[in-house]
Amino acid sequence: MKSMCNLIKAAEQVYNSYLLFYKLSALRVSTGKSLQEVLSDAIQNKEQHVEFEVCGQHYKVEITSDGQLKVLGEYAKPKVKDILEYADNDIIDLLANSEVFLVNGQNNNWAFTIQIDDEVRKKKLQIGGPGKRIPFSIRFANFYRVIKLLEDESIPLQEKLRLANNIATGSGKTYDIALLKLLAYLADVPCITVVPNDTLKEQSHNFYKEFLPDTVVDIFVKPLYKKAIFILDDFFSRKEPVSKDVFKRECIDDTAEYRYIHSNRSYPTITFDEAFNTYWNTLRSMENLALICIDEAPLLKQNPILMARAIEISCDKPIALFSATPDKLLNEEFRIKEQVLLSPKERAELGIGKLPVVHYHKTKFRGTSEMAAARSRYDLLFCVPERAYIDKLERTHIKLDNWKSAVEQFKQERKLNKKTLDELFIECVSKSLDSQAYKVNLIASKDTRTGNIVDSVLDNRKSQERKEKRTRSFTDAIKTLGLDLQDNEIESLIDKNLNTEVGNNLLSSIKLHIIIDSLNEYTKSNAEVTEEKLKEFIEHRYGIVNSFSFKLNTELASAIFRLSQIGSKYKASISRNYPGDKELHNYIFQEYPQIKEFCEQNTVISNFDKEITIHKFRSSESCSDIGCNHQNMLNFIKAGFVPSVISKDLAIGIDALRLDSAAALAKGTSSILHPMFLIQLIGRIGRDVNRKGKCFFDLFTTDSSYFEVQDITQLSGEELCVRLEKANQKYMDDKNAIIEMRSGSLWNNIKNRYIINEAYHRLMLPSKLRDKPRFDLIQDFVKEEFKSINIQYGFNKKDCIEIFTQVLQRVSDDLNRILQMPVNARTCVIFLGLLYDDNSNQIADLKKLMQDMRNAVKSLNSKGSRIVEYSDNLSLENFAQYVMNVQPVNWDDIAGHNPDSNVPIFINKICRENGVPQIIRVAPKKTDAKKQSKYLIVASPLIAVGIYATVTLLTELKINPIIAVSIFAITSIIAVILYRYIAKDCEAQEVQSKIMDNVIDSIDLSYTVGI
């Protein structure tokens, strides 16, 4: 009960302090000024009191000499509640009941600091302050759910935080982990954070430094173990801790020994391998209450043995899983009680994202009659989803929320005749209409052959007809505003002021709009505008530098600098920065040809399999990801300087605040239709609520979608979870579609990675695999496909074998059909003759692969297979025979297996009860020397006499009572002496162990494990 009270109290402390940090930084008084500005002005003027009004209520604040803010008067501390229920007056009440300071950092950077009590350690902690990150409101929505769980008395303590936090990649799961970790720290409860790899561990440590109190960070960033050096001959004899210098100097001695010494067992961040492999026994031996936070939890499924160990740990410890989307297998096996998933509607209510405008359209391939009636190849080529999407994109205009006030202002100012009609018109349109065609957009497609999509985006053919359609759509949208303009006036104003271009001409204008946006962002800092300063800003803000192939930093800085020198006539247009401002953009492109040339470059980029391709109409150029080119171009994309991006990978892994339009295009069966993928893609857009305009999500398919997205903006988080689970089940049950997708993916990847682009992809392999024969690499990739299918179907043997068999059958049939063709036809079918020589080793490998796949299919279809010993180098046929003999096991049975093994594993499906089973873990028995000595004292006289009696009987001598008593007495005396010696030795060892700990704690060890 005491632990529960500590947890609830600590949770409220964390919630209130960070809520104050967040709300006070944004609070405005009745005059419109921010509270931070009012208070900082008073401090700079050396005023001791300041008065202001908030929501009609008058407040007076005393400012002490050290910057503490004391609200004068009596104010009740508000109860902890949902963030949406807090009024500004509640925040002032909370301020009155808290220790809050206003501190000035570097460059006059004022920030609020909240002090809280660390009662366990009897010291103060500082929340916030200059340079610290301010959390989003979503953090409080999620953390409030944690508080409600802790307050629920019907849930046992070990189950209270058994939850899954599902939020899109890049949306700030690390914030939630950090807050839980701080909560555990204040309640004196250990909290272990587990992440997939060292990169994420380092990112977590860096985040803690930017967000959490410095005192806490010093503890959290320590590794679980440190690598220390000990001197065997001299170390344990030290009575006092040695100095750091002496320790380092003496460690040079040859008698030194390396050891791993526990450093931070309570609050470390460790990798999957460290937690469930290297330090597995340490973690499982923790007997006290401890919270386990697992980030990117679905990646645990890549190694079922590590996952089994994580499941074992979760049996008696509260666990929090963090992932981008809900995962049914993880939720079942970890017995998750609470799902945390915010719907787009809830995100918009919390002010952490825009509510997307969602559109779903199912297209059809044209029939024979329609194809015969086509007037040109153009009509035939673009009868697929990408053409339908571009048509919709170019003609979509949405009214903004404040369109009525913009129209009223237009009418009033038109009567005053102080501005030209052109100026009034573009001001009104920029405030009342949002056009999707002007947005930076991300197109998610599985097809790596993006020719049709690129051509649809860049194509300028039939531009006049398309421009006329855009103009008509603009005219219709503007007429609905009621500007009291005639149709011919509207058309004339559109032609003169609005950009109705299509294809690449439009994309270069979008890119110019983003560059102007960066200029406006920079000028807000009031910093000096020079090219050197701009280069520093671009590198710091966007991570864009000059690389070997692209001088992006220099070109971008040069463009922004030139724009800053633009004449006063266009200053207002620069400040407004309407993306369709035709007059402004035409002037810039004519006056500054260097900017025009820069804006016409890199407007369409695709990213597949870590390979970036820069597209032009009917041509493309690969951007090697060797060196810094790849990362530099990714940063360029994330910053929004690429108007159109085509990628499935980036659709779930890009954090781009300027991304306000996304589309999923699926021809036939495609993994693009996976419900979990679609919900992540929706989470990519509208991240910056301060950007003007709406955000758009479009789904264009040729088949029906498993996930109904039409009304997604109306759902709550709970409703969205239910719909996602149903849609995901429909997706998994459509095995024919899965087989088609998997077989197509397998063949495409074999072709792309190991046939067409073999030299390139060998460079991307680990060094130990680069010299591996090509055919072995192909077989390895087929085995990887088996592993992916096994994971997708939750390690279910029946489903996995069924899908894998059909995939191999289909790929081998396709290979056979291609290899039976005449030479000329075959090279065309194998993707336009990229296999250079029909007699090449590549063709031989394909024939061998086809036969091996057929043999594997026979083995998978046979009821009985011969026993095969597992090896990583098994042929496909032997691999198939091996997996057929693998018997499903329980999770509990594989925790002791070697996690470094690649042996295929199938898992039994066990129906679990709602409650968490109470698993009693037998802890390793500790040897107690004193108890052993006691047993020896009692037993030794009898043992000695027994030995004497045995010897006399065997030698046929008579037992002498005096000798027996003497043996008993002597043995007892020896046992007492032995007991005292052992007890003294135990005490000495205990003292030496304490001395060792003191020495290690006093020295800053430079060698660490895993970091």
Tens digits of residue pLDDT in 252-278: 444 445 455 556 778 999 999 999 998
Helices in 373-503 by DSSP H: which ranges?
A: 377-381, 385-394, 403-416, 421-432, 451-458, 463-479, 487-497
Q: Identify each DSSP E strand in 505-610 by its residue range.
A: 604-608
Exposed/middle/buried for residue 945 (C-beta within 10 Å: 0-12, 13-18, 19+) = middle
Cα–Cα separations (whole angstroms), residue 1003 to 250, 844, 992, 999:
13, 63, 17, 7
The answer to whether residues 831 and 751 touch, using CB atoms and an 8 Å cutoff, is yes
Rounded Cα gap, residues 320 and 312, in angstroms: 14
Low-confidence ranges of the chain (pLDDT < 50): 231-256, 258, 366-368, 371, 377-382, 624-627, 756-763, 828-839, 912-932, 988-1011
> How is 693-717 classified by DSSP, letter by letter?
S--EEEEEESS--SS--TTGGG--H
Superfamily of domain 137-354: P-loop containing nucleotide triphosphate hydrolases (3.40.50.300)
793, 795, 799, 805: CA torsion to nearest 10: 100
The mean pLDDT of the chain is 81
According to the model, what pLDDT value does residue 84 have? Answer: 87
One DSSP character per residue, 175-203 reads HHHHHHHHHHHHTT--EEEEESSHHHHHH
Measure the N-to-C terminal CA separation of the chain; round to a whole number of Å: 38
pLDDT of residue 158: 73
Separation between Cα atoms, residue 940 and residue 929, nearest integer Å? 16
Listed in sequence order, the DSSP H helices in 137-267 are 137-151, 173-186, 198-211, 214-220, 244-250
Helix (H) or strand (E) holding 815: helix 797-819
Strand partners, 228: 259
- CB under 8 Å to 103, separation ≥6 — which residues? 67, 110, 111, 112, 113, 129, 130
The one-letter amino acid code at 726 reads K
* Helix, strand, or coil (residue 802): helix
pTM: 0.79
What DSSP state is assigned to residue 957? P
CB atoms within 10 A of CB 53: 11
- Report the alpha-carbon distance of residue 902 to residue 72 in Å, rounded: 67
**Which residues, 6+ apart, have CB-to-CB distance to 144 below 8 Å?**
15, 80, 81, 82, 83
Are 731 and 675 within 8 A, CB to CB? Answer: yes
Per-residue model confidence as pLDDT tens digits over 196-244 = 999 999 999 999 999 999 999 999 998 877 655 554 444 444 444 444 4
User: Quick one: pLDDT at residue 926?
Assistant: 39
Domain residue ranges of the chain, discontinuous segments joined by +: 1-134, 137-354, 416-444+470-499, 501-654, 730-856, 936-1009
Cα–Cα distances (Å) from 688 to 347, 435, 547, in that order, read: 12, 18, 29
- pLDDT for the residue numbered 95: 95
The angle subtended at Cα 306 by Cα 301 and Cα 309, nearest 5°, is: 120
User: How far, in Å, CA of 737 to CA of 726, rounded?
Assistant: 17
Which segments of 820-872 does DSSP mark as H helices, in order? 823-829, 841-861
Q: How far is CA 814 from the centre of its chain?
A: 37
Name which of 746, 734, 743 is nearest 707 in CA terms. 734
